[in-house]
Amino acid sequence: MEESHMMKWAKELMPQHQAIIMEIQGELDTEGVKILEPTFLKLCKEDEFHLILNCAQLTYINSQGLGLLISGKKSVGERGHKLVVTNLQEPIRRLFEVIRFDKIFPICESVDLALQTLNER
Amino acid sequence: MNRLTLWATKYKVVSGFISWYRCEYFSWYWQRSFYFVEYFSGVKMVRNVASCLAKQLQLNADEEFALNLAVDEAVTNAWEAQAYLGQKEETSHEEYTYSKSKNWDNPQKINKPIWVKFMLGSDMLRIIVIDGGKGFKVGAHCSIDIMGDHGRGCFLLETYMDKVTWFPRQGGGTKCVMDKKLPRTSHVLLTRKINKLPSVNN
């Protein structure tokens, strides 16, 4: 688990599902984005893996954080892979609905469901 | 001008001033201002204040999140106006976008403070954010192109707050006034007392 500011993250490789699970904790505000961006975009450029974001502990996200997700999605999409968002807290889920991110990102209730979704495709 | 007209004009001016003064100072029973130059600590400070107010006003989690987000986006806009545009004159959207993308990793240190004012009225919370830069046509940058590079912040501001107005300021800068209607049953509204806010360093 790496830690800085109020942003922590951890990653777990699931080669059997061809996926990397990235767990984000804390706040994805401007400062959090500057800290997370290099690692996140590097993972998005992985050639062989889908990316699952576990947002169970993500308490806040602003437009910069949303922009980072968009960049990640574009990067992942270029390789024909998926970026799945899971375990969104209620205010952030509603934010995704307001800004119509629920139409762009597959959103799942849990990491297991996300892995199932990836396997089915 | 005869005496009657002169008297009527003077009365209008005086009564207009009294209305403005009452509106400005007596409609809002609680006000608090902050200013800062350092962006990261400043935005954290005002977000803490917004959260504290939201709790005292008995707003739910969604409304608290909305206040936090609105204050964050408005302050970020104000900071970016100085950090990426510096002292340039009012710019077009294209110039702003170009300047921001070119200087993203190297924002200028701002030298004019950002002012944030919280005002509490009988049924409304008003938040005013003022930047000291040269200003730009912020309203023109709001976008619902969610896959675009810019515009999400303004869009969120205007979605989450009940009313948002942008004013260019004479001498430079932009004033953003955001209003949020409050539930009338709030304890604070009934007692008109705000408990101590988190201590802040300006």
Task: Work out the angle between the directed axes of helices A30-44 and B39-56 (0-180°, nearest 10).
Answer: 110
| Inter-chain touch A100–B76, beta carbons under 8 Å | no
Task: State the best of B47, B51, B64, B65 to mutate against chain A, taking most chain A CBs within 10 Å.
Answer: B65
Of the candidates B62, B73, B155, the beta carbon closest to that of A94 is on B62
Of the candidates B68, B159, B160, the beta carbon closest to that of A60 is on B68
pLDDT at residue number A69: 92
In this prediction, residue A81 has a pLDDT band, given cuts at 50, 70 and 90, of confident
Q: Which residues of B make CB contacts under 8 Å with A?
A: 39-40, 43, 61-62, 65, 68-69, 72-73, 76, 146-147, 149, 152-153, 155-156, 159-160
Task: Give the mean model confidence (pLDDT) for residues B138-166.
Answer: 75
Task: Work out the angle between the directed axes of helices A90-98 and B61-85 (0-180°, nearest 10).
Answer: 60
Of the candidates B65, B73, B155, the beta carbon closest to that of A91 is on B65
Residue of A nearest to B143 (CA): A99
In this prediction, residue A58 has a pLDDT band, given cuts at 50, 70 and 90, of very high
The torsion of the CA quartet B163, B195, B59, A65, rounded to 10 degrees, works out to 70
pTM of the model: 0.78
B189–chain A nearest CA distance, Å:
25
A66 to chain B: which residues are within 8 Å by CB? 152
pLDDT at residue number B117: 93
In this prediction, residue B104 has a pLDDT band, given cuts at 50, 70 and 90, of low
| Inter-chain touch A91–B72, beta carbons under 8 Å | no
Residue-averaged pLDDT of chain B: 75
| Inter-chain touch B43–A94, beta carbons under 8 Å | no
pLDDT at residue number B129: 92
**DSSP calls for A44-113:** HT-SS-EEEEEEEEEEEE-HHHHHHHHHHHHHHHHTT--EEEE---HHHHHHHHHTTGGGTS-EESSHHH
| CA angle centred on B130, ends B99 and B135, rounded to 5° | 35
* CA separation, residue B41 to residues A117, B36, B129, B200 (Å): 41, 8, 16, 10
A92 to chain B: which residues are within 8 Å by CB? 65
- Note the pLDDT tens digit of each residue in B10-45: 777 777 776 665 555 556 778 889 888 888 888 889
B72 to chain A: which residues are within 8 Å by CB? 29, 62
Selection from B30, B28, B128, B113 nearest residue B79 by Cα = B113
Task: Give the mean model confidence (pLDDT) for residues B100-115.
Answer: 63
B72–chain A nearest CA distance, Å:
8
Count of CB pairs separated by less than 8 Å, A with B: 50
A62 to chain B: which residues are within 8 Å by CB? 69, 72-73, 76, 153, 156
pLDDT at residue number B28: 77
